[in-house]
Amino acid sequence: MTGPRPTFRLGYVPGVTPAKWVRMWAERLPRIPLELIQVTAAEAPALVRRGEADAVLLRLPIDRDGLHAIPLYVEQTVVVVPKDHLVTAADEVTTDDLAGELMLYPQDDVFAWERPPGRVIDERPPTTADAIALVAMGTGLLVVPQSLARLHHRKDLTYRPLLDAPESQVALCWPEDETSELVEQFIGIVRGRTVNSSRGAQPAAKTPTGKTPAKKAPVKKAPAKKALAKGAGKRTGRPRRR
C-alpha cells in the first residue's frame, strides 16, 4: 500500500497574492497539490509554528523566534480617503499633509510606527476592513499597504501614495528546524530559480521500464577538411624568364 500523497500547505495573509507562484508550482510539481490557507496577520506566525502550514507568506516585522524568514518584496504605502477629500487633489502626499487629519489606527496595523501621522482616534478598529468602513463613513483616514487598499476597494474611496511613511515588507516564513524538500522547492520558485538550477532541479524522467535513461555521449564534430591538399598551393603556370 502506498501512503497518502504529499501536499504543500501555504498560508498567506490578506492582500498578498501568491497566484503567480502557485501557477509555477503546478507547472513544476503537477503531482503535488498546493493547498492555500488564508490567515490573519496576527495568526500567521503561529500557523507554521503549530505545523498547520509548511510555510506562510506574511508581512514583517514578526517575532522570528524559531522561524526562518526570506524578505521577498516591499509594498507601496498609501493613504485611503473618500473620493471627494482634499488629499485627492495631489498625486502623492507626505505625512505632513496629514498633520491636521483624523487618522484611524486598526489593531491589525502592519506598520512599525514610531509615531502615526495626524491626530490618531483613540478607539482602534479591530481590523483593517472595519477601518475601511469607517473611512467611507467620513470618520477618518487610513494608512495601509497598497495591496490592502486594493483588496478592500470601494467605489466611494480612493488612495494616494504616502511618500515618507514606513513600508511593509512581504516575506516567506517557515519553521527554523524543518526545511523540507517541498519548502526548498517553493523557496526556489519565489527566488526565481530555474528548473535546472542546483536546488530547483527536478528528477530525471524515467523510461517505461522505470530506469533513468543513459545520457548520450556528446557527438564530436569531424574536423573541417582542408581546402587544398598538401602541395596544392604551388604555382602551376610557366616559370618566369630571367
Q: 215 lies in a domain?
A: no
Q: Please indicate, yes or no, whether residues 176 and 146 belong to a single structural domain of this protein.
A: no
Strand order of the β-sheet with 141-145 is 119-120, 102-104, 141-145, 77-82, 157-161
pLDDT of residue 196: 64
| 143 lies in some domain | yes
CATH classification of the domain holding 132: 3.40.190.10
Contact by Cβ (8 Å): 69, 38: no
Q: Is residue 216 part of a domain?
A: no
pLDDT at position 194, please?
74
Does some domain include residue 218?
no
Helices 181-190 and 19-28 meet at what angle, rounded to 10?
Answer: 120
| Same domain? 48 vs 84 | no
Last residue of a domain, one of 134, 166, 198: 166
Burial class (CB in 10 A: 0-12, 13-18, 19+), 129: middle
- The reply to whether 198 falls in a domain is no
Do 40 and 160 belong together in one domain? Answer: no
Number of H helices, E strands in the chain: 5, 10
Residue 160 and residue 130 share a domain: yes
Q: Say what the pLDDT of residue 204 is.
A: 37
Look at residue 117 and tell me if it is in a domain.
yes
Looking at the 3D structure of the chain, how many domains does it have?
A: 2
182 & 70 share domain: yes
pTM of whole model > 0.85?
no
Residue-level pLDDT at 232: 44
CB 162 within 8 A of CB 78: yes
pLDDT at residue 105, as a whole number: 96
Shared domain for 82 and 16, answered yes or no, is: no
What is the model's pLDDT at position 113?
87
Per-residue pLDDT tens listing for the chain (242 residues): 455 668 999 999 999 999 999 999 999 999 999 999 999 999 999 999 999 999 999 999 899 999 999 999 999 999 999 999 999 999 999 999 999 999 999 999 999 888 899 999 999 999 999 999 999 999 999 999 999 999 999 999 999 999 999 999 999 999 998 789 999 999 999 998 876 664 543 433 333 344 444 444 444 444 544 443 444 444 444 444 44
Please report whether residue 14 resides in a domain. Answer: yes
Domain of residue 29 covers 8-74+169-190
- Same domain? 92 vs 144: yes
The DSSP secondary structure of 175-228, one letter per residue, reads ETT---HHHHHHHHHHTT--TTSTTTPPPPP--TTSPPPPPPPPPPPPPPPPSS
